[in-house]
Amino acid sequence: MTAAAEGSPPLRMTRARRNALLQSEPVQGLALISPTLVYALILLVLPILVVIAHSFWTQHYLTIDRSFTLENYRIALTEPIYRDLLWRSLYISLTVSLLTVLLAYPIAYFISFHGGRHKSLWLFLITIPFWTSYLLRVMSWKVILGYNGVLNSGLMGLGIIDEPSTALLYNSSAVIITLTHAWAAFAILPIFVSLEKVDRTLVEAAKDLGDGPLRSFLRVTLPLSAPGVISAALIVMIPTVGDYVTPKLVGGKDGVMIANAIQAQFGKASNWPLGAALSVTTMVIVTLMAGATVLVIRALQRLAR
Amino acid sequence: MTAVRRFLTGGWLPAYAFLYVVFLYLPVIFLPIFSINTAATPKFPLTGFTLHWYEDLPRTPALLDAAWNSLIVGVSAAILSTVLGILAARSITRYRYPGRRAINGLIMAPLVLPEVIVAISMLLVMLQLGLSLSLFTVVLGHVLVCIPYSMTVLTSGFEGFDRSLEEASADLGESAFGTFRRVTLPMVAPAIISSLLVCFTISLDEFIIAFFLTGTEATLPIYIWGQLRFAAKLPGVLAPGTLLLVASFLLMTIAEILRRRAARRTQNEGGLYA
């Protein structure tokens, strides 16, 4: 740029250099991705920064007081109601991710090792229900577990129970069942991908060296698929902690989760800073829990070898 | 002893896989079943076949409005996110530059963040910017969550795309536009259409972001949510729910067939399902 003032020959050189720069891979690549990147920056990064900023502010009716305070975090972490909701959300998301991974692993293993020619058909069959509306899937669990629902009326029809059970719907178990069903496919895919990468000759070698099927699975296949198990656990744990629809539809009073409290702060209660602090707290704690999960799985992996 | 042996060698796996698929499909199948049942509550035994829940649909103006809104939002979100997805996927698959992985991670992040938090953060910014909430703000939100899916579909279509084909076409005297139209486009078209369908389906089914970012206009999931509060209206929700279910099912099947065709053309496997 400064070379422009130095006369024409250097100018031509700079232009040539600039053209070379413009045609270089990094510049072209970055230029091409910039619209998408800018979009993500404006609608994802900026909003999250705004939420973090709000969490340190205070709301007086309609105006926001922008002086720094940690009061919202004190409320979020010590008020029994929010503490309980946070604990319950963490408990539910941990249980759900554990269940989905346990239930999904054999399926991923079956498709990867015994799927044969039909691998992609199996994957398609398993993922297709998950492209249907999440709201509708939660709704169908309400239909199944309800007082006058499918399960109660079915069991009564079969003579197994005499009167409808109220224990099925509106509690945290109902939330856990629904979420486990809703996230099943998301756990299968990463585990499947990592199982596909397991070198089959290693499994063969373990068997040739005298390991039985269980031993070779525990010492070769399972540790090698740990990365898939980790991503499956995280991909389920992080989004479920902030689930709103499921607790609202099937959770009842005992199944309320933190997202419902966050929504209330942005709706009826109209306390944005507290809602923001609750969101940030949830994200930080779930990130810590995710980190701990990764460490535990890695430790187990080392132990198995 | 044989039972233990069967367990260890995985003889139970096919049976387990079958049961698992049943577990995945069963809840979803109850919606269509009860949508053609005469009883007003979804319970067994079934009372009889009727289509009258469906016949009521065209006579519900709120539902028709919601369907129309969903269509507008879905089409806009699909086009916008696919355009942004094409740029990003092409950049990621074609060029090598520092920060590529980090940028990719950022663009894919909405996939793994709690939707409520994504939604309320966008809501805060939009209100601060003085945007009034409308279908437009819903489109903005949907594009953000659709881009990762669009990227996944398109990357699998673009990866392994042989640039020498384009160069050969140019060397043989095709113009830049001719090369694009006759070489590039046919190769990537299935992936692009697949991305459009996937994004449309996601937008059509998406609830949380639409719920927070819409003004007074409802999309289909918001309409269904509103009706769910009244137990008496459940059968009236099962019918549009079933239609939505069937639509997603068909769209995703077509999208997957196209994606596979695209992947085959560029001799590349993987993507959405692998």
Ranges of each domain in chain B: 1-29, 61-265
Q: Which of B62, B13, B10, B35 is nearest to B243 (CA)?
A: B35
Residue A132 in this model has a pLDDT that exceeds 70: yes
At B273 the pLDDT is 44
Q: Which of B134, B71, B132, B143 is nearest to B110 (CA)?
A: B143
Distance CA A31, CA A21 (A): 12
> Quick check: A124 contacting B, CB < 8 Å?
yes
Residue A10 in this model has a pLDDT that exceeds 50: yes
Q: What is the mean pLDDT of residues A230-243?
A: 91
Do residue B224 and residue A103 have CB atoms under 8 angstroms apart?
A: no
Max mean pLDDT among A67-76, A88-97, A216-225 falls in A88-97
Residue A256 in this model has a pLDDT that exceeds 60: yes
Which chain B residues are within 8 Å of A123, Cβ to Cβ? 273-274
At A6 the pLDDT is 46
Q: How far is CA A245 from the centre of its chain?
A: 15
φ/ψ of A229, rounded to 5, equals -65, -40
Q: Which of A172, A48, A25, A104 is nearest to B109 (CA)?
A: A48
Q: Which of B120, B149, B207, B251 to mutate to test the interface with A (most CBs of A within 10 A)?
A: B120
Percent of chain A at pLDDT above 90? 37
A160 compared with B148, residue with greater pLDDT: B148
For residue A299, the distance in angstroms to the closest alpha carbon of chain B comes to: 24
Do residue A149 and residue B109 have CB atoms under 8 angstroms apart?
A: no
Which chain B residues are within 8 Å of A184, Cβ to Cβ? 20, 23-24
Residue A26 in this model has a pLDDT that exceeds 90: no
A216 compared with A56, residue with greater pLDDT: A56
Which chain A residues are within 8 Å of B14, Cβ to Cβ? 110, 114
Pick the CATH number of B61-265 from 3.90.1150.10, 1.10.10.10, 1.10.340.30, 1.10.3720.10: 1.10.3720.10
Residue A3 in this model has a pLDDT that exceeds 60: no
- Which residue do the tokens 């979420």 mark? A179
At B3 the pLDDT is 61
Q: Three-state secondary structure along chain A?
A: CHHHHHCHHHHHHHHHHHHHHHHCHHHHHHHHHHHHHHHHHHHHHHHHHHHHHHCCCEEECCEEECCCCCHHHHHHHHCHHHHHHHHHHHHHHHHHHHHHHHHHHHHHHHHHHHCHHHHHHHHHHHHHHHHCCHHHHHHHHHHHHCCCCHHHHHHHHCCCCCCCCCCCCCCHHHHHHHHHHHCHHHHHHHHHHHHHCCCHHHHHHHHHCCCCHHHHHHHHHHHHCHHHHHHHHHHHHHHHHCCCHHHHHHHCCCCCCHHHHHHHHHCCCCCHHHHHHHHHHHHHHHHHHHHHHHHHHHHHHHHHC
Cα Rg of chain B, angstroms: 23
At B56 the pLDDT is 81
At B8 the pLDDT is 61
Q: What is the mean pLDDT of residues A192-205?
A: 87
Do residue B115 and residue A111 have CB atoms under 8 angstroms apart?
A: no
Please give the model's pTM, rounded to 2 decimal places.
Answer: 0.86
> Quick check: A276 contacting B, CB < 8 Å?
yes
Do residue B205 and residue A149 have CB atoms under 8 angstroms apart?
A: no
Distance CA B136, CA B215 (A): 10
User: Half-sphere exposure of B78 toward its Cβ, with a 13 Å CA cutoff?
Assistant: 22
For residue A100, the distance in angstroms to the closest alpha carbon of chain B comes to: 11
Q: Which of B147, B153, B73 is nearest to B110 (CA)?
A: B147
Note whether B167 and B238 are within 8 A (CB). no
Q: Which of B91, B104, B138 to mutate to test the interface with A (most CBs of A within 10 A)?
A: B91
At A147 the pLDDT is 76
Alpha helices per DSSP H over chain B: 2-8, 13-35, 52-55, 61-94, 100-108, 115-128, 135-158, 163-171, 176-179, 185-205, 208-213, 220-228, 234-265
pLDDT tens readout for residues B122-163: 998 998 888 889 999 999 999 999 999 999 888 877 776 677
Lowest mean pLDDT among A61-75, A287-301, B121-135: A61-75
Q: Three-state secondary structure along B61-109?
A: HHHHHHHHHHHHHHHHHHHHHHHHHHHHHHHHHHCCCCCHHHHHHHHHH
At B2 the pLDDT is 61
At A303 the pLDDT is 85
Q: What is the mean pLDDT of residues A203-230?
A: 85
Which chain A residues are within 8 Å of B82, Cβ to Cβ? none
Residue A7 in this model has a pLDDT that exceeds 50: no
- Among B125, B238, B244, whose Cβ lies nearest the Cβ of A50? B125
For residue B182, the distance in angstroms to the closest alpha carbon of chain A comes to: 22
Q: What is the mean pLDDT of residues A223-249?
A: 90
Lowest mean pLDDT among A21-30, A113-122, A262-271, B235-244: A21-30
Note whether B71 and B139 are within 8 A (CB). no
Degrees, nearest 5: CA angle B20-B23-B29: 135
User: Cβ neighbours of residue B215 under 8 Å, at least 6 residues apart?
Assistant: B132, B133, B134, B135, B137
For residue B170, the distance in angstroms to the closest alpha carbon of chain A comes to: 18
Note whether A261 and A209 are within 8 A (CB). no
Do residue B23 and residue A51 have CB atoms under 8 angstroms apart?
A: no
- Among B143, B237, B252, whose Cβ lies nearest the Cβ of A128? B252
At A25 the pLDDT is 80
At A48 the pLDDT is 94
Do residue A32 and residue B90 have CB atoms under 8 angstroms apart?
A: yes
At A82 the pLDDT is 93
At B10 the pLDDT is 67
At A2 the pLDDT is 45
Residue A120 in this model has a pLDDT that exceeds 70: yes
Distance CA B212, CA B218 (A): 11
Mean pLDDT of chain A: 86
| Domains of chain A and CATH, by start | 2-45 (no CATH), 71-304 (1.10.3720.10)
Distance CA A256, CA A87 (A): 11
Which chain A residues are within 8 Å of B114, Cβ to Cβ? 238-243, 259, 282-283, 286
ipTM of this complex: 0.85
| CA terminus-to-terminus distance, chain A | 59
At A46 the pLDDT is 95
Distance CA A80, CA B7 (A): 47
Distance CA B122, CA A50 (A): 9
Note whether B201 and B251 are within 8 A (CB). yes
Which chain B residues are within 8 Å of A150, Cβ to Cβ? 30, 42-44
Q: Which of B144, B156, B59 is nearest to B107 (CA)?
A: B144
> Quick check: A133 contacting B, CB < 8 Å?
yes
Enumerate residue ranges in chain B where pLDDT < 70.
1-10, 160-161, 231, 265-274
Do residue A35 and residue B44 have CB atoms under 8 angstroms apart?
A: no
Q: What is the mean pLDDT of residues A188-208?
A: 87
Instruction: Provide the pairing of β-strand A58-60 with A63-65.
Output: antiparallel
Distance CA A141, CA B31 (A): 10
Note whether A184 and A101 are within 8 A (CB). no
Degrees, nearest 5: CA angle A151-A157-A161: 70
Residue A170 in this model has a pLDDT that exceeds 70: yes
Amino acid at residue number B155: T
At A41 the pLDDT is 95
